[in-house]
C-alpha cells in the first residue's frame, strides 16, 4: 500500500502540468431576451459577478438574434449596451446564432425551409369546386371502431395483447359506434406491453394521416405510442402523445410518409404499463392532402392528368397551393403535425355546372389528377445542434449557406424527381440559401 501511494505521488509530480503555466478560459452560459431592458440590467450585473469570480467569457443566446430585422431600434441599443460592457470588463462574448435543435426561431424567417419528404403520384379529384385527395374505395384501416370482434379480438387486426386479460372490447365506454377497445392492468403474469397492431396496405411515397380517439383513467402515460413500423425494422413515425393520467376522449392526429413501402404495421398501445386503463376508438387512416405542403425551388410541384399527357398550371388551372398554417401555429416557426387542410379552389370557369369533378377540359366524373410534390413529417425533423439527431433518426448532412452567421448544420429539403427513391428517412439538400438578418448584427462581433 505505501509503495502504491508513493508511485501515485510520483505520477502526479511528473505528469500533471503546471497550473500556473496553463491559460484557462472559463465561460458562463446566458440565455436571455435582450429586448427587455430589465434583462439587460440583470445580464450586466451577472457580467460583473462573473468577472470578479475569474470568468473570462460569456456564451450568449437570445432567440431574437434570428429575428433581427423584425425588432425595434431599442433591441439593437440593448445589445450594444451589453456588448460594450463585455469589452469594458475584458470578457469574451460568444454568440449562439444557429439554433438547429429547437429551430423555430430560425425557421420563422421562412417556414418553407423545413426538411421535407417526397409525395409522388398521389391521386386528387375535383369535388365541389375544390382539389381534394381521392379517398380509397375501401378503408385503409380495417375495423377502426372495433365493431367486429370475437372473444375480445377485433376482426382485421393482427393482434391485441392478452385478449380477455389485458385487452377488452368495451360496450359501456365509447365515443362512436357501439364499442371501444379497452386496455388495463391484469392479474398474475401480466404482459409487459398493451398493444393493438394491424398491417395496412399503402402506396409508396404517399402522405397519410392517422387519427384515433383516446381516453384514460389512472393511467401512467409515459410510454404510450402510435407507431408506424416496417417489416425490416424502420420506423416511419413514432409518436408519443401527451396524455393526462385521467382524461376524457380526445383525438390524436399524426402523419407519415410511406417511403418505398407497400405494407406497414400500425401500432396503438403502451409499453411497460402497470396500472390504470386506456381506451382506443374511431381509428382512421386516410390521405393527408396538402397539410404542411412545402413550396420552394427545392421542392418541385407538378399536377398532371392520370395518363400523364397533360400538365396543369397553378393559378390558371387551379388555385395557388399553399398551407397558411405551415410553420405558423401558434406563431411563425412553430409546426403542428396536423391541422385543417388548406383549401385549393378551382377557378369557376374551369368547373362544370355540377360544380364538382375535374373540368380542366372535356372530362368525365371519373377523371383524376395526380400530384407530385414534397412535404414535411408532421413534428419538424431538424437536427439538434448538439446531438445531431432527430428522434430515433440520426443524421448530420451538410448544407451550404450564403451567410456566415450559420455556424452549425441544418437539414433542408429533399430534392426529388418522379423516379427518385430515397433510402434514408432524411436527406440533405445541395442548394444554398440565406437566412441573414435584415439589420446589422456586426455589433456582436468580438473585434
pLDDT tens for residues 331-346? 888 888 899 999 988 8
pLDDT band at 324; cut points 50, 70, 90: very high
Q: Is there a single domain that holds both residue 80 and residue 159?
A: no
**Separate counts of helices (H) and strands (E) for the chain:** 4, 24
Distance CA 318, CA 40 (A): 51
pLDDT, residue 370, reads: 59
Domain containing residue 82: 2-96
Q: What is the pTM of this model?
A: 0.72
Distance CA 291, CA 373 (A): 12
Angle at 61 between CA 59 and CA 64, to 5 degrees: 155
Between 8 and 120, the higher pLDDT residue: 120
Indicate whether 119 belongs to any domain.
Answer: no
Q: Is there a single domain that holds both residue 198 and residue 267?
A: yes
Indicate whether 211 belongs to any domain.
Answer: yes
Q: What is the CB neighbour count within 10 angstroms for residue 289?
A: 20
* pLDDT, tens only, 353-380: 333 333 233 223 334 565 555 432 222 2
pLDDT, residue 100, reads: 77
Indicate whether 79 belongs to any domain.
Answer: yes
pLDDT, residue 298, reads: 82
pLDDT band at 412; cut points 50, 70, 90: very low
DSSP 418: T
CA-wise closest residue to 93 among 158, 42, 151, 25: 25
pLDDT band at 280; cut points 50, 70, 90: very high
pLDDT, residue 336, reads: 86
Distance CA 200, CA 261 (A): 11
CATH number at residue 199: 2.60.120.260
Indicate whether 340 belongs to any domain.
Answer: no
CA-wise closest residue to 226 among 207, 213, 217, 245: 213
pLDDT, residue 15, reads: 43
Q: What is the CB neighbour count within 10 angstroms for residue 155?
A: 11
Indicate whether 138 belongs to any domain.
Answer: no
Distance CA 346, CA 319 (A): 6
Distance CA 66, CA 110 (A): 11
Distance CA 137, CA 184 (A): 35
In total, how many domains does the chain have?
Answer: 2
Q: Is there a single domain that holds both residue 154 and residue 252?
A: yes
Q: Is there a single domain that holds both residue 272 and residue 188?
A: yes
pLDDT, residue 368, reads: 58
Which range (151-160, 245-254, 411-420) has the least confidence?
411-420
DSSP string across 54-117 = T--EEEEE-GGGGGGGGS-HHHHHHHHHHHHHHHHTT-EEEE-----SS-HHHHTT-GGGS--E
* pLDDT, tens only, 231-255: 999 999 878 888 999 999 999 999 9
Q: Is there a single domain that holds both residue 170 and residue 250?
A: yes
pLDDT band at 129; cut points 50, 70, 90: confident
Distance CA 277, CA 183 (A): 6
State yes or no: pLDDT of 218 exceeds 80: yes
Which range (143-157, 210-224, 290-304, 382-396) has the least confidence?
382-396
pLDDT band at 217; cut points 50, 70, 90: very high
pLDDT, residue 115, reads: 81
Indicate whether 187 belongs to any domain.
Answer: yes
Relative to beta strand 263-271, strand 193-201 is antiparallel
Q: Is there a single domain that holds both residue 254 and residue 159?
A: yes
| Sequence-separated (6 or more) residues with CB below 8 Å from residue 290 | 321, 323, 341, 342, 344, 375
* pLDDT, tens only, 173-193: 999 899 999 999 877 777 889
Distance CA 119, CA 125 (A): 16
State yes or no: pLDDT of 160 exceeds 60: yes
Angle at 301 between CA 226 and CA 355, to 5 degrees: 90
Average pLDDT of the chain to the nearest whole number: 75
State yes or no: pLDDT of 257 exceeds 60: yes
Residue 202, all three cell numbers: 399503402
Query: Which domain-ending residue is among 287, 315, 340?
Result: 287
pLDDT band at 441; cut points 50, 70, 90: very low
State yes or no: pLDDT of 382 exceeds 90: no
pLDDT, residue 122, reads: 87
* pLDDT, tens only, 86-106: 999 999 999 988 887 778 888
Query: Which domain-ending residue is among 264, 287, 310?
Result: 287
Q: Is there a single domain that holds both residue 36 and residue 156?
A: no
pLDDT, residue 390, reads: 24
Between 59 and 384, the higher pLDDT residue: 59
pLDDT, residue 190, reads: 77
Query: Which domain-ending residue is among 51, 66, 96?
Result: 96
Which range (293-297, 352-356, 405-409) has the least confidence?
405-409
Q: Is there a single domain that holds both residue 281 and residue 153?
A: yes
Q: Is there a single domain that holds both residue 88 and residue 183?
A: no
Distance CA 325, CA 339 (A): 8
| Sequence-separated (6 or more) residues with CB below 8 Å from residue 105 | 63, 64, 65, 66, 67, 99, 333
Q: Is there a single domain that holds both residue 156 and residue 83?
A: no
Between 126 and 187, the higher pLDDT residue: 126
Indicate whether 16 belongs to any domain.
Answer: yes
Q: Is there a single domain that holds both residue 283 and residue 157?
A: yes
Amino acid at each position: 500500500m505505501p509503495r502504491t501511494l508513493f508511485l501515485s505521488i510520483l505520477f502526479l509530480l511528473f505528469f500533471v502540468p503546471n497550473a500556473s503555466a496553463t491559460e484557462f478560459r472559463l465561460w458562463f452560459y446566458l440565455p436571455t431576451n435582450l429586448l427587455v431592458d430589465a434583462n439587460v440590467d440583470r445580464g450586466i450585473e451577472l457580467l460583473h459577478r462573473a468577472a470578479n469570480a475569474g470568468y473570462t467569457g460569456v456564451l450568449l443566446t437570445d432567440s431574437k438574434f434570428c429575428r433581427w430585422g423584425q425588432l425595434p431600434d431599442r433591441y439593437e441599443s440593448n445589445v450594444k449596451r451589453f456588448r460594450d460592457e463585455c469589452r469594458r470588463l475584458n470578457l469574451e462574448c460568444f454568440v449562439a446564432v444557429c439554433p438547429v435543435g429547437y429551430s423555430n426561431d430560425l425557421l420563422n424567417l421562412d417556414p418553407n425551409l423545413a426538411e421535407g419528404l417526397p409525395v409522388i403520384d398521389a391521386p386528387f379529384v375535383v369535388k365541389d369546386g375544390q382539389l381534394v385527395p381521392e379517398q380509397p374505395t375501401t378503408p385503409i384501416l380495417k375495423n377502426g371502431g372495433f365493431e367486429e370482434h370475437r372473444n375480445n379480438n377485433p376482426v382485421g387486426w393482427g393482434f391485441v395483447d392478452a385478449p380477455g386479460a389485458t385487452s377488452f372490447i368495451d360496450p359501456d365506454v365509447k365515443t362512436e359506434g357501439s364499442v371501444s377497445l379497452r386496455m388495463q392492468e391484469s392479474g398474475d403474469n401480466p404482459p409487459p406491453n398493451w398493444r393493438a397492431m394491424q398491417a395496412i396496405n399503402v402506396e409508396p411515397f404517399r402522405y397519410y394521416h392517422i387519427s384515433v380517439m383516446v381516453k384514460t383513467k389512472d393511467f401512467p402515460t409515459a410510454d404510450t405510442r402510435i407507431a408506424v413500423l416496417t417489416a425490416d425494422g424502420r420506423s416511419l413515425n413514432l409518436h408519443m402523445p401527451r396524455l393526462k393520467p385521467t382524461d376524457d376522449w380526445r383525438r390524436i392526429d399524426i402523419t407519415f410518409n410511406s417511403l418505398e413501402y407497400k405494407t406497414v404495421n400500425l401500432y396503438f398501445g403502451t409499453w411497460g404499463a402497470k396500472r390504470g386503463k386506456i381506451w382506443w376508438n374511431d381509428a382512421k387512416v386516410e390521405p393527408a392532402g396538402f397539410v404542411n405542403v412545402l413550396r420552394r425551388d427545392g421542392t418541385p410541384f407538378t399536377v398532371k392528368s392520370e395518363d400523364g399527357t397533360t400538365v396543369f398550371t397553378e393559378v390558371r388551372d387551379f388555385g395557388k397551393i399553399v398551407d397558411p398554417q405551415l410553420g405558423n401555429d401558434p406563431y411563425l416557426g412553430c409546426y403542428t403535425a396536423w391541422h385543417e387542410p388548406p383549401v385549393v379552389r378551382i377557378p369557376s370557369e374551369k368547373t362544370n355546372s355540377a360544380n364538382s369533378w375535374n373540368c380542366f377540359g372535356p372530362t368525365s366524373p371519373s377523371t383524376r389528377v395526380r400530384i407530385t410534390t414534397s412535404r414535411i413529417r408532421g413534428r419538424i425533423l431538424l437536427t439538434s445542434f448538439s446531438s445531431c439527431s432527430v428522434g430515433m433518426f440520426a443524421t448530420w448532412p451538410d448544407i451550404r449557406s450564403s451567410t456566415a452567421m450559420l455556424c452549425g448544420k441544418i437539414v433542408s429539403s429533399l430534392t426529388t424527381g418522379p423516379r427518385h427513391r430515397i433510402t434514408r428517412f432524411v436527406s440533405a439538400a445541395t442548394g444554398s440559401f440565406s437566412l441573414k438578418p435584415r439589420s446589422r448584427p456586426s455589433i456582436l462581433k468580438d473585434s
